[in-house]
Amino acid sequence: MCLAVPLKLIEIDGKNAVGESMGMQRKLRVDFIPEPKIGDYVIVHAGFAIERLPEKQALEDIASWEEIRDVL
């Protein structure tokens, strides 16, 4: 099973990017995302952004992860 937290793209340099979520940053690749833009939310698997998410869905998902984190 793969669990993923949506990341917001904060830097893009060609196919390399940096995403941020819940206070963490991660380097990733955006090879599979057409025309990635800073501010896009993406799901990352094995270091690659594999899907762009609507902002509303991404924020709801992040809120759910924050609830889980706070309980633990």
> Residue 17 is part of a domain; what is its CATH number?
2.30.30.140
> Cβ–Cβ contacts within 10 Å for residue 48, how many?
15
> Cβ–Cβ contacts within 10 Å for residue 42, how many?
24
Q: Is 68 helix (H, G, I), strand (E, B) or coil?
A: helix
Q: Would residue 2 count as lying in a domain?
A: no
Separation CA 37–CA 25 (nearest Å): 16
| 24-38 confidence digits (pLDDT tens) | 999 999 999 999 999
Give the pair of three-digit tokens for residue 7: 């990341």
| 5-54 confidence digits (pLDDT tens) | 899 999 999 999 999 999 999 999 999 999 999 999 999 999 999 999 99
Q: Would residue 17 count as lying in a domain?
A: yes
3 pLDDT above the threshold of 80: no
Q: Would residue 59 count as lying in a domain?
A: yes
Give the pair of three-digit tokens for residue 6: 């949506």
**Residue range(s) defining the domain that contains residue 44:** 7-71
Q: Would residue 30 count as lying in a domain?
A: yes
Question: Which pTM does this prediction carry?
Answer: 0.89
Q: Would residue 1 count as lying in a domain?
A: no
Give the pair of three-digit tokens for residue 38: 């800073």
